[in-house]
Structure 1
Amino acid sequence: MTILIHDVDIKLLRVFYTIVQCGGFSLAQARLNVSQSSISTQMSKLETRLGFRLCERGHGIFRLTPEGEHVLKATERLLAALDDFSSELLESQKKPAGDLRIGLMDNMVSNPNSPLSNVLADVAEDAPDIHFNIHIGSVADLGERVLDSRLHLAISFSYRPIAGLSYTPLFTEEHQLYCGRAHPFFDRDDRTITIEELLEAKYAGWGNSAAIPDDDMPVAFTEVASSHNMEGLVYLVQSGHFVAFLPSHYAKRWVEKGEMRAVRPDILSHSVQFYLMLRDNDCHPLVVRCFLDYLANYISQQELSRAVG
């Protein structure tokens, strides 16, 4: 079956996208400035147009169907392409304007090595017509979104490079293994904690989205719990049952309160490289080139030039 997309369909897809972003019909009312019954009517129209149900809803339940998940990704790509088209039209004015879609890992903000806040400040000051759209996601999610153009760029660590993306080193982040106050390691002298005991500890990791590089790691941990974001790992560590690698700058607040501590930093502390991820050999729009120009003030110009061609 061929589905021809018209202007009205794009409007309905925008409504669908907003509903998903808000987490349900009732929560989308304020954003869309229409009644819940109107939202329901528009969703029904879209589902009739497409020929399948996009979500399960009712009695406080909102859940995408498999078809809805597929349409959501396609909608994100469509809206991103429309934003890029608008930006290209504005480029004729030689003035960067329009959406700049940036992907970031969670809890980077406290990393003293990250120049991102300064770069955003510079861009906002000199290019006020750029609209920042920042998405927080996992390593795998960010790579996928850059690859299919839902994001212009992303900043993240990556142990498994994705074909079709370029990776430019930006800054590093120190990671250490942490345990919570109730964990048996907490009150132990680090010098008495053996490799064998570390191997037996319940380890919480990043799941399938990333892996700890084991080239220089004396312990090959086996995951028994996982989370794709750092806050989830903190909850697991604070339970007292698990150990997990966390950025030192992020864990600092709980360390200072005596709620967790680093375990065997003498052998387990390691540096993680963060990268700028871009589509390989892509012709970047003006808003992206503007961002990269300001980013170059904080990192190696040679590395950045190599990445963007």
Structure 2
Amino acid sequence: MTSIRQLRYFVEIADCGGFTAAAERLYIAQSALSRQIRDLEQHLGTALFERTARQPRLTPAGLAFLERARPLLADLHKAEQLAQQVGQGLRGSLRISHSSTVPLTGALLQRLGRYVRDNPGISLDIAQQSSEAQLGDIAEGRLDLGLLRLPVLRQHQDVQLLPLFSEPLLLAVADSHPLAMAGAVSLEDLRDERFVSIPHRQRGGLSYLAAGLCMEAGFFPQAAQVVSRKTTQLQLIQAGFGVALLPACMADIAAPSVRFVALREPCHSTVALACRRQPEPMLQQLLQALAGKAFSTSDDCPEPLEGHGTQLP
């Protein structure tokens, strides 16, 4: 079989116009170069050069071989560059999912945009999934990075959770709701309210956290006639079906007719990055871009995103 070395030597001789000049450019002995070409011609069963007293000339077979050899070497060079760039995290594609209550807004969207601008060889495929679905897909290799809200009830041995930022929870109500104009409310004030988001017994996330806070205040949230754990709960609130405890960033995507009221109690929600342990260089760079520092273990605590809350303790 023709070797890559023989291809390169053959093309170099054709470009230089002779064995002596090619040997000098390749930094090898002319005898070694001649031996490689003889072996190549023997393998092909035909002469590639006409040896003359002045300069070797390509035979018709040599001209035909050169026509195909050049693009083969060019493609090989591109393949080598691509492999190096992917290995160094400079080129490729990353699959990302985010929970419905982690909208891509504010500083999070800005950092994603900066990462894309700084890495033109990398593309992002972004979808929306529940926290549990993200963790499962990451564990099975179908997803590279997840953006979700803690807590999660199901843990996967090969998946790590990296706290990214925390932000206050607010009461979201329709602008016609009696509490819409309140300066602040207490969780106790919500005892008789109907909530459009009720936790699932096998799922964590925001609804699980909100229910836990209500239980600490002495009651379990009553379900509205229509409930949702997705961003559609904003539409349900706007339509007057009920209320919800939502993170401050949800105000970025809510309609003007949905009002956000502060809670008197210190209630916060944490957003985390989820990925496989020992991520590849390309994903490491994205993690660093989102968190503002390099990290690779679950013990790391990234700096908070400006405008989204405080760093976790």
Q: TM-score, structure 2 length as denominator?
A: 0.55
Any idea what the Cα deviations from partners look like across 1:166-210, whole Å, max 9, x if unmatched? 11111122221121133344467867x883x62221111164243
Aligned residues of 2:198 and 2:227 also touching (Cα < 8 A): yes
Any idea what the Cα deviations from partners look like across 1:204-225, whole Å, max 9, x if unmatched? 1164243125268425324344
Structure 1 residues 99, 223: CA separation in 2 closer, same or farther (over 3 Å shift)?
A: same
Any idea what the Cα deviations from partners look like across 1:255-287, whole Å, max 9, x if unmatched? 8x4x233456213x62111111012x4x43332
* Separation in structure 1 between the aligned mates of residue 98 and residue 242 of structure 2, nearest angstrom: 26
The residue aligned with 1:198 is: 190
Aligned residues of 2:169 and 2:269 also touching (Cα < 8 A): yes
* Separation in structure 1 between the aligned mates of residue 136 and residue 154 of structure 2, nearest angstrom: 8
The residue aligned with 2:165 is: 171
Aligned residues of 1:183 and 1:242 also touching (Cα < 8 A): no
Any idea what the Cα deviations from partners look like across 1:11-38, whole Å, max 9, x if unmatched? xxxxxxxxxxxxxxxxxxxxxxxxxxxx
The residue aligned with 1:274 is: 271
The residue aligned with 2:37 is: none
The residue aligned with 1:150 is: 142
Structure 1 residues 306, 180: CA separation in 2 closer, same or farther (over 3 Å shift)?
A: same
The residue aligned with 1:260 is: 258
Any idea what the Cα deviations from partners look like across 1:229-263, whole Å, max 9, x if unmatched? 22x111111122301122223226768x4x23345
Any idea what the Cα deviations from partners look like across 1:64-97, whole Å, max 9, x if unmatched? xxxxxxxxxxxxxxxxxxxxxxx99954454432
* Separation in structure 1 between the aligned mates of residue 114 and residue 252 of structure 2, nearest angstrom: 26
- 1:306 aligned to 2:307? no
SS in 2 for 1:170: strand
The residue aligned with 2:237 is: 237
Give, as a single letter, the amino acid of the residue that structure 1 aligns with 2:209. I
- 1:105 aligned to 2:99? yes
Percent same amino acid among aligned pairs? 20
Aligned residues of 1:205 and 1:233 also touching (Cα < 8 A): yes
* Among 254, 279, 284, the residue aligned to 2:279: 284
SS in 1 for 2:268: strand
Matches within 5 A, 1:115-134: 116-122=109-115, 124-134=116-126
Q: CA deviation at 1:141?
A: 2.2
Aligned residues of 2:191 and 2:221 also touching (Cα < 8 A): yes
Structure 1 residues 265, 273: CA separation in 2 closer, same or farther (over 3 Å shift)?
A: same
* Separation in structure 2 between the aligned mates of residue 308 and residue 88 of structure 1, nearest angstrom: 36
Structure 1 residues 220, 90: CA separation in 2 closer, same or farther (over 3 Å shift)?
A: farther
Show structure 2 runs of 5+ residues with no match: 1-78, 301-313
Give, as a single letter, the amino acid of the residue that structure 2 aligns with 1:247. P
Structure 1 residues 263, 221: CA separation in 2 closer, same or farther (over 3 Å shift)?
A: farther
Structure 1 residues 138, 194: CA separation in 2 closer, same or farther (over 3 Å shift)?
A: closer
SS in 1 for 2:136: helix
* Separation in structure 2 between the aligned mates of residue 244 and residue 148 of structure 1, nearest angstrom: 33
Any idea what the Cα deviations from partners look like across 1:127-170, whole Å, max 9, x if unmatched? 32212111122222222222221111111112124322211111
Give, as a single letter, the amino acid of the residue that structure 2 aligns with 1:201. E
Aligned residues of 1:227 and 1:233 also touching (Cα < 8 A): yes
SS in 1 for 2:152: coil
Give, as a single letter, the amino acid of the residue that structure 2 aligns with 1:118. R
Aligned residues of 2:147 and 2:272 also touching (Cα < 8 A): yes
Structure 1 residues 277, 243: CA separation in 2 closer, same or farther (over 3 Å shift)?
A: same
Structure 1 residues 250, 292: CA separation in 2 closer, same or farther (over 3 Å shift)?
A: closer
Structure 1 residues 289, 181: CA separation in 2 closer, same or farther (over 3 Å shift)?
A: closer
Which has a greater percent of helix?
A: 1
Aligned residues of 2:279 and 2:296 also touching (Cα < 8 A): no
Q: CA deviation at 1:290?
A: 2.9
The size of the alignment, in residue pairs, is: 208
Give, as a single letter, the amino acid of the residue that structure 2 aligns with 1:104. H
